[in-house]
Amino acid sequence: MNTYNPDTPVRRAEDISQPLVTVVTVVLNDVKHLEQTILSVLNQTYKNIEYIIIDGGSTDGTVDIIKKYQDRLAFWVSEKDKGIFYATNKGAEKATGEWINYLNSGDYFFNNQVFETIFSKTHPTADLLYGSFIGNFNNQAVECVAPPSVSDRSWKGMPVCHTAVFARTALMKKFKFNTDYRVSADGEFMVRSAAAGCVFERLDLIVFRVGTLGFSSTNWLKGRLENWKFCRHYFPGAKTDLFHAQGLAREVVFRSFKYVTSLVGLYQLARFIYRKKIQKKLPLLPKNVLPFQD
């Protein structure tokens, strides 16, 4: 096991009027993308940041990247664990900031002023702050605009992306991620927080950009079923079941179409025709998901 834990946590400012914000990055064998993620944290113009990296025992050179920046980290460890959400909970246990954000390896903050915009001039009173993010849909960059409210849509599932959220560290330590959900524990945390009456505050900014497709994107079916399960738990009723059944059916149809047309070499053509001729009249994306141009 590799570990680094200085006697005094590394903080980047002495101004206690600005809240300390902890960022936790979880990584496993991602030497290609980790450095960009690290630099997007260290290059923030906001100075009161505590940075923690939890590595799951990488063997591809990832640890060398971490060691390159270890004098600017509050804590890092490289050891085998049981999965991504065990690792995120481990990061929360080490956090000493007032707020906490999870930025997984491969993702990166939208610009260097994200933290300063949120924390330098205001003192939020909510339990969780959430913003928009840049994602990827079918190889197309999209802006996922933060919804105006969380409480009225949590029955539908994960109301906001957890990487676009800054949560009170005390709340994160209390609730933690439920590791019974192997794919969607982050969504369960958000829905549980909403069901418990936690206060969400919308930020009018883009928080981060998805750099690589995450674990949930390659385990979409299990993620869908987990999402349905915890939504039924917190918001039981026919409305919840019908919504999730329809969503699952739509995704199965779309993925089946994509698989079959790809096999016969027609998918790229079908996608081109859809985007040029059909997309505006029959959009596949929700209304808050918009095409994004750099």
- The domain 2-131+154-219: what is its CATH number? 3.90.550.10
Residue 15 has pLDDT above 70, yes or no: no
- Secondary-structure breakdown of the chain: helix, strand, coil percentages, each rounded to the nearest 5: 40, 20, 40
**pLDDT score for 40:** 97
Q: How far is residue 217's CA from residue 219's CA, in Å, rounded to a whole number?
A: 6
Structure confidence by residue, pLDDT tens digits, 54-74? 999 999 999 999 999 999 999
- Looking at every residue in the chain, the average pLDDT score rounds to 90
Question: β-pairing, 2-4 with 99-102?
Answer: unpaired
Q: How far is residue 64's CA from residue 131's CA, in Å, rounded to a whole number?
A: 32
Q: Which residue has the tokens 């999965």?
A: 83
* CB-based contacts of 226, cutoff 8 Å, min separation 6: 181, 182, 183, 184, 187, 188
Q: For residue 178, count CB atoms less than 10 angstroms from its CB and return exposed for 0-12, middle for 13-18, buried for 19 or more.
A: middle
Residue 182 has pLDDT above 90, yes or no: yes
Question: β-pairing, 128-137 with 108-109?
Answer: unpaired
State pTM to two decimals.
0.89
Residue 147 has pLDDT above 50, yes or no: yes
**pLDDT score for 288:** 83
Question: At residue 271, what is the residue type?
Answer: R
Q: Torsion-angle region of residue 57: left (phi > 0), alpha (psi -120 to 50) or beta?
A: left
Residue 13 has pLDDT above 70, yes or no: no
Nearest to 103 by CA among 158, 50, 46, 48: 50
Strand partners, 140: 137
Query: pLDDT confidence of 151, banded at 50, 70, 90?
Result: confident
Query: pLDDT confidence of 120, banded at 50, 70, 90?
Result: confident
The dihedral formed by the CA atoms of 14, 97, 110 and 4, expressed in degrees to the nearest 10: 90
**pLDDT score for 5:** 64
Residue 122 has pLDDT above 80, yes or no: no
